């Protein structure tokens, strides 16, 4: 039996929103200067980052 694909999943997010007649508001300007991380003792709190695999051969682990 052939696998049927959902045509909705093949659409880009923007194309799907357009097809549904949905318009998103523009992004808000940040109200302050944000830092990517804060260290408190032995803990590091990160914000707005996702986990990713290291690049082979890179000097940086991320």
- Lowest-pLDDT range, 11-15, 32-36, 54-58? 54-58
Q: How far apart are CA 56 and CA 40, in angstroms?
A: 30
36 versus 7: which is more confidently predicted? 36
pLDDT of the residue at 39: 94
Q: How far apart are CA 23 and CA 17, in angstroms?
A: 7
pTM exceeding 0.75: no
Distances from the Cα of 20 to the Cαs of 12, 27, 57, in angstroms?
12, 20, 44
* Rounded mean pLDDT, 6-16: 75
């Amino acid at each position: 039996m052939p696998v049927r694909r959902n045509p909705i999943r093949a659409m880009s997010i923007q194309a799907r929103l357009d097809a549904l007649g949905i318009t998103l508001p523009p992004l808000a300007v940040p109200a302050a200067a944000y830092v990517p991380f804060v260290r408190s003792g032995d803990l590091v709190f990160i914000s707005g980052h996702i986990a990713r695999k290291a690049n082979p051969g890179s000097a940086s682990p991320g």
